Amino acid sequence: MRNRTSLALIIPLLIVCFAAGVLSVIIKPPNPDTISVANTPFSPFPFFPTPTRASRFNIIIFGVDSFSSASSGTLLTTWLLTFGSKEETIELIGIPYDASLPDGRTLREAFSLFEPPDYGAQFIASMTAFTPYPIAGFIVLDRVGFAGLIDYLGGFTLGDQAYDGSRTLVALGLLENNPQESLKLQAQILQAMVLAAPALGRTPEVTPLTTMVPDHAFSSPAAAQIATMAIPLLPINPERVEIKIWTG
């Protein structure tokens, strides 16, 4: 069902951002003039459980072309970040946008986060078809936000080629109609970005990232709640981090 690749030195990019103290600044609740936090599927929850040995949770990471308070945009990629206690494996599972849901629609066809009447609740619930573990929240990042994150890290190198945010978008764009191959490239990009992240240091300057919020990055629930779930995982053991690509 899945093409599994163990990655000895891969820490998912967003977990690295947690560790650097960046995510709470990158992705925070938007202002009332854009997306209402009340109109998201996770806002009713008053608290989030702390991962324990007996439990695992998912944070869904969506990549889109663009989004607004009225539109979720076009789904380009989906990654499930699955984790529990520090001793357990952290998984990053890439799901192609043409994967089918139980109702027969593809992820891209069903994708909805900000539209009424349920503001993404039914779509998020349908994602349980890909995981036996509870879905605790989601993060959405558009092309501009993703490119900005790459530039913030100073770019990366694959083989003998250097990439900045713009060049990365071009490379991914060439594979946009081939979701499986796109996911493989995304996995390599994540690896390269993670290897570049330590150069930021322990207290990075995050001001350049604040311009991405809320127009190019959003989370439900608030990033502080999502970060709280990740804190018990630190420091992360790279040997326990794996990436998988869903093949149906």
pLDDT at position 240: 74
In this prediction, what percent of the chain has a pLDDT beyond 70? 67
pLDDT band for 235, please (50, 70, 90 cuts): low
| Beta bridge partner(s), residue 83 | 57
The more confident residue out of 84 and 61 is 61
* pLDDT of 41 higher than 60: no
Q: Closest Cα partner for 241 from 133, 131, 91, 93?
A: 91
The domain limits of the chain are 2-246
Spell out the long-range contacts of 185-188 with Cβ–Cβ below 8 A and sequence spacing 24 or more.
Answer: 186/77, 186/79, 186/94, 187/5, 187/7, 187/94, 187/243, 187/245, 188/158
Run of H or E residues at 76:
strand 75-83
Q: Helix or strand or coil: residue 26? A: helix
- 16: CB partners within 8 A, 6+ apart: 193, 194, 197
* pLDDT of 197 higher than 80: no
pLDDT at position 54: 43
The stretch 137-155 carries a mean pLDDT of 88
Q: What's the topology of domain 2-246?
A: Aminopeptidase (3.40.630)
The stretch 109-122 carries a mean pLDDT of 90
The stretch 221-237 carries a mean pLDDT of 70
The more confident residue out of 230 and 170 is 170
Residue 120 zone, left/alpha/beta (φ > 0; ψ -120 to 50; rest): left
Q: Looking at 58-72, 170-184, 230-244, which range is the least confident one?
A: 230-244
Mean pLDDT of the chain: 75
- 142: CB partners within 8 A, 6+ apart: 63, 64, 65, 66, 67, 73, 216, 217
- Over the stretch 4-38, which tens digit does the pLDDT of each residue have? 332 222 234 455 454 444 444 444 444 434 444 44
The more confident residue out of 68 and 64 is 64
Q: Helix or strand or coil: residue 240? A: helix
| Encoded tokens for 68 | 């607004």
d(CA 239, CA 168): 27
- Over the stretch 102-115, which tens digit does the pLDDT of each residue have? 999 999 999 999 88
pLDDT at position 201: 63
pLDDT band for 193, please (50, 70, 90 cuts): confident
The stretch 215-241 carries a mean pLDDT of 73
The stretch 216-225 carries a mean pLDDT of 78
* pLDDT of 155 higher than 50: yes
N-term to C-term CA, the chain: 5
Q: Looking at 88-97, 180-189, 205-214, which range is the least confident one?
A: 205-214
Contact by Cβ (8 Å): 14, 193: no
pLDDT at position 50: 43
Vertex 172: Cα angle to 170 and 174 (nearest 5): 75
| Encoded tokens for 102 | 């139980």
Contact by Cβ (8 Å): 97, 108: yes
